[in-house]
């Protein structure tokens, strides 16, 4: 069996031309640009909790980095570098090769360089810490939503949850939409370009990992504000169109794993936001309004209040 | 059972006065100081591999951060912040409280602030990425050792491995040295102050996590140099004094988990190194010399060659 060092060298060493000192020392070294702040986020994916044990390693490599890049996107930060800690039951080349390929394909697309890490024997899990840069004072935070702001979401919602329910056998999906749904679950697209493009026009942002209601609530709590969402304006993924209305709503409001951006911006920024969306090739939709009254209210297109019980996916709850 | 967010808030939220934006957003934000580089390292500790499942959580909290701070020390970097990803079988307050106390006691000592993380259900593991700062161009790298340099180590060697063998039941230890040995294994002291103090006097450095021979070999390979070590100058931990000579050597040369610094410096720096050691209250010893001829040679005080087979602890080898 190859040693730990052989494995790291073989699958995880790439040239890092933009990095002062990359893998191979006690630490990596970055040289921050003047006027830039460093944005940092960390996510861990555990087998059996965040992904099935038999998940295609290429998709897992992609998704492990994608969920972290999505956090940078939500701050409007440009990806710079990441560390990877990988716990593996055995040093398995047939797994490591596609995993590293999926990981690096996304990393290279965003010029985000692997600068350090740790490979160890243990139950399968992937822990990534990502670093980005954003001009000082321009980061999109959760606590800056203002009363009157539009609430926007990117892309479409609910596909990843529908795909998960399909894989668990609780719903059936037509072959023509199944592939699209699975792509949303297994190969999510972090909205990095959109996050950077709306940075100067939006007030607050978050990425949707736990579900719209739970994640938007973080913006509301931090910004000491409330909101009304018009459920008839939610951008339902195509895979949901043939599903029951209640299932659609649950997927869109509390499905989780969307990795779309939810952000707030003044009404005066609408044109700029739409132009940013056009330039980055990302769909966006206004789904509600930030209000003074605390709490999150759901209405339909007629303005009638809508009830909804489920809130968010919690890794420690016994769902 | 409290939710994930409750747990994080309760045990892992502390004021972060020196951080631009701490826990609670998609990313943390740091504002790098002009003229400083950012040093980054990542280590993952997995239950059953790096520690016993019943390890005191307070000690585990300490050690998880200590091994990362040791990497910063080996670059001469000042600790700034860290992220923590924690995978836990259950949300167990009786475990989380002492774990967080052990973690924060060390973090606060080094003014290193927790700025982000992820808590998830899963097999017990701890993944930390640490960030430090070092004046541009002053970091201690592995590739800067020069022919004629003294080779130094800090502290004493071998105690952690002796403690591990004691816990595994392969050796017996007197009660009077057992506590000291266990402290080295469970509560190692990262040599942060020493690393910063020798930064301008030393050429190359590494921290000893896998064992002296394996770790020094990284310096030699990167610096395209060789070395001779005088085994009679190795600073044996007191716990080793009553052990057989061969066991002492194995612990000191290939024991692992020492978290001492091994560094090289020109002979002209001896006075400065000793003064740096005195000011930081750290023992240091010269154990050998960097040489032009590749390879690592062991000799005794009489200059006689010494054989040694074991090299390094490898997480994927079937030891």
Q: What count of CB pairs under 8 Å joins A to B? A: 229
Same domain, A41 and A78: yes
pLDDT at A89 over 60: yes
Percentage with pLDDT > 90 across chain A: 74
pLDDT at A3 over 60: no
Same domain, B190 and B127: no
Whether A41 has a binding-site annotation, put simply, is: yes
Contact B118 A32 (CB under 8 A): no
Chain A partners within 8 Å of B315 (Cβ): 4, 119-121
Q: What is the CATH number of the domain that holds B73?
A: 3.30.1330.10
Same domain, A67 and A178: no
The answer to whether residue A314 sits within a structural domain is no
Q: Of all helices (H) and strands (E), which one includes residue A273?
A: helix A270-279
A159 phi and psi angles, rounded to 5 deg: -60, -45
Chain B partners within 8 Å of A48 (Cβ): 122
In sequence order, what E strands does chain A have?
Answer: 28-30, 36-46, 78-88, 113-121, 125-135, 150-154, 204-207, 226-230, 261-265, 284-291, 295-299
Tokens of B75: 């670059």
Contact B40 A131 (CB under 8 A): yes
Specify the pLDDT at position B314. 43
**DSSP letter for each residue of A287-299:** EEEEESSSEEEEE
pLDDT band at A319 (very low <50, low <70, confident <90, very high): very low
Of B19 and A51, the one with more pLDDT: A51
Same domain, A130 and A158: no
Specify the pLDDT at position B4. 57
pLDDT at A208 over 50: yes
Q: What is the pLDDT of residues A52-66, one digit of tens each?
A: 888 999 999 999 999
Same domain, B88 and B217: no
Q: Which residue has the tokens 């020492």?
A: B258
Specify the pLDDT at position A257. 93
The answer to whether residue A213 sits within a structural domain is yes
Q: Could you say which of A26, A31, A116 has the minimum Cβ distance to residue B74?
A: A26
Same domain, B80 and B219: no
Specify the pLDDT at position B313. 42
Residues sharing a CB contact under 8 Å with residue B53, sequence separation 6 or more, in sequence order: B47, B124
Mutate to test the interface with B, among A89, A127, A191 (most CBs of B within 10 A): A127
Specify the pLDDT at position B312. 46
Mean pLDDT over B49-53 rounds to 87
pLDDT band at B316 (very low <50, low <70, confident <90, very high): very low
C-alpha dist (Å) from residue A314 to A128, A129, A211? 20, 21, 10
Domain count along chain B: 2
Q: What is the CATH number of the domain that holds A232?
A: 3.90.650.10
Specify the pLDDT at position A92. 82
The answer to whether residue A46 sits within a structural domain is yes
pLDDT band at A310 (very low <50, low <70, confident <90, very high): low
Q: Which of A214, A215, A205, A251 is nearest to A231 (CA)?
A: A251
SS (H, E, C) chain B: CCCHHHHHHHHHCCCCCCCCECECECCEEECCCCCEEEEEEEEEEEECCCECCCCCHHHHHHHHHHHHHHHHHHHCCEEEEEEEEEEECCCCHHHHHHHHHHHHHHHHHCCCEEEEEEEEECCCEEEEEEEEEEECCCCCECCCCCCCCEEEEECCECHHHHHHHHHHCCCCCCHHHHHHHHHHHHCCCCCHHHHHHCCCCCCEEEECCCCHHHHHHHHHHHHCCEEEEEHHHCCECHHHCCCCHHHHHHHHHHCCCCCCEEEEECHHHHHHHHHHHHHCCCCEEEEEEEECCCEEEEECCCCCECCCCCCCCCCCCCC
Determine the Cα–Cα distance for residues B43 and B68; give it in Å rounded to an integer. 6
Specify the pLDDT at position B258. 96
Contact B265, B195 (CB under 8 A): no
Tokens of A63: 């998704």
Residues sharing a CB contact under 8 Å with residue A150, sequence separation 6 or more, in sequence order: A264, A265, A266, A267, A269, A270, A273, A286, A288, A289, A290
Chain A partners within 8 Å of B72 (Cβ): 26-27
Specify the pLDDT at position B7. 67
Domain that holds residue A270: 150-299
Q: What value does the mean pLDDT of chain B take?
A: 90
Tokens of B8: 């994080």
Same domain, B114 and B203: no
Same domain, A115 and A256: no
C-alpha dist (Å) from residue B62 to A263, B25, B50, B72, B103? 38, 26, 14, 16, 5
The answer to whether residue B313 sits within a structural domain is no
Q: Of all helices (H) and strands (E), which one includes residue A42?
A: strand A36-46
Contact A71 B26 (CB under 8 A): yes
Contact A83 B123 (CB under 8 A): no
pLDDT band at A265 (very low <50, low <70, confident <90, very high): very high
pLDDT at A297 over 90: yes
Contact B50 A120 (CB under 8 A): yes
> What is the spatial order of strands in the sheet that B204-207 belongs to?
B204-207, B261-265, B150-154, B284-291, B226-230, B295-299
Nearest residue of A to residue B117, measured between CA atoms = A42
| End-of-domain residue from the set A75, A103, A135 | A135
Specify the pLDDT at position A69. 98
Contact B91 A136 (CB under 8 A): no
Nearest residue of A to residue B20, measured between CA atoms = A37
Whether A43 has a binding-site annotation, put simply, is: yes
Mutate to test the interface with B, among A8, A27, A53, A82 (most CBs of B within 10 A): A27
The answer to whether residue B306 sits within a structural domain is no
A154 phi and psi angles, rounded to 5 deg: -90, 160
Determine the Cα–Cα distance for residues B25 and A41; give it in Å rounded to an integer. 9
Whether B71 has a binding-site annotation, put simply, is: yes
Q: Could you say which of A30, A122, A315 has the minimum Cβ distance to residue B37?
A: A30
Mean pLDDT over B137-149 rounds to 96
Specify the pLDDT at position B8. 65
Q: Could you say which of B44, B84, B118 has the minimum Cβ distance to residue A120?
A: B44
pLDDT band at A1 (very low <50, low <70, confident <90, very high): very low
Q: Could you say which of B26, B39, B42 has the minimum Cβ distance to residue A118?
A: B42
Contact A127 B132 (CB under 8 A): no
The answer to whether residue A317 sits within a structural domain is no
Gyration radius of chain A's alpha carbons: 20
Q: Could you tell me the sign of the dihedral formed by the alpha carbons of B155, B157, B160, B162, in that order?
A: negative
pLDDT band at B49 (very low <50, low <70, confident <90, very high): confident
Pairing of strands B204-207, B261-265: antiparallel
Specify the pLDDT at position B317. 37
The answer to whether residue B183 sits within a structural domain is yes
Same domain, A157 and A125: no
Specify the pLDDT at position B12. 76
Nearest residue of B to residue A20, measured between CA atoms = B37
Contact B139 A21 (CB under 8 A): yes
Contact A314 B37 (CB under 8 A): no
Chain A partners within 8 Å of B121 (Cβ): 46, 49, 315-316
Q: Could you say which of B37, B131, B205 has the minimum Cβ distance to residue A20?
A: B37
Nearest residue of A to residue B312, measured between CA atoms = A3
Same domain, A179 and A293: yes
Chain A partners within 8 Å of B40 (Cβ): 27-30, 81, 83, 115-116, 131
ipTM, 2 decimals? Answer: 0.88
Whether A117 has a binding-site annotation, put simply, is: yes
Same domain, B14 and B106: yes
The answer to whether residue B142 sits within a structural domain is no
Same domain, A106 and A165: no
């Amino acid at each position: 069996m190859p040693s730990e060092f052989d494995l790291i060298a073989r699958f995880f060493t790439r040239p890092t031309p933009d990095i002062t000192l990359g893998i191979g020392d006690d630490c990596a070294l970055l040289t921050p640009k003047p006027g830039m702040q460093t944005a940092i986020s960390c996510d861990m994916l555990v087998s059996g909790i965040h992904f099935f044990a038999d998940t295609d390693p290429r998709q897992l490599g992609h998704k492990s980095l994608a969920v972290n890049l999505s956090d940078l996107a939500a701050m409007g930060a440009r990806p710079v570098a990441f560390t990877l800690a990988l716990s593996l039951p055995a040093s398995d080349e047939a797994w490591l090769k596609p995993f590293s390929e999926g990981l690096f394909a996304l990393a290279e697309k965003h010029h985000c360089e692997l600068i350090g890490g740790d490979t160890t024997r243990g139950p399968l899990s992937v822990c990534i810490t990502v670093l980005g840069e954003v001009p000082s004072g321009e980061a999109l935070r959760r606590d800056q939503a203002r009363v009157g702001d539009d609430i926007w979401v990117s892309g479409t919602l609910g596909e990843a949850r529908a795909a998960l329910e399909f894989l668990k056998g609780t719903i059936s999906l037509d072959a023509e939409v199944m592939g699209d749904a699975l792509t949303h679950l297994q190969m999510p697209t972090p909205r990095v370009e959109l996050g950077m493009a709306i940075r100067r026009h939006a007030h607050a942002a978050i990425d949707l990992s736990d579900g719209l209601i739970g994640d938007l609530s973080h913006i509301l709590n931090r910004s000491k504000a409330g909101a009304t969402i018009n459920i008839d304006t939610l951008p339902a993924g195509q895979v949901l169109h043939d599903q029951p209305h209640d299932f659609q709503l649950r997927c869109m409001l509390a499905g989780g794993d969307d990795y779309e951006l939810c952000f707030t911006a003044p009404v005066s920024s609408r044109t700029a936001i739409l132009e940013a969306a056009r330039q980055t090739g990302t769909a966006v939709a206004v789904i509600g309004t930030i209000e003074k009254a605390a709490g999150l209210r759901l209405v339909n297109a007629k303005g009638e209040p809508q009830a909804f019980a489920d809130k968010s996916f919690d890794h420690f709850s016994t769902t």
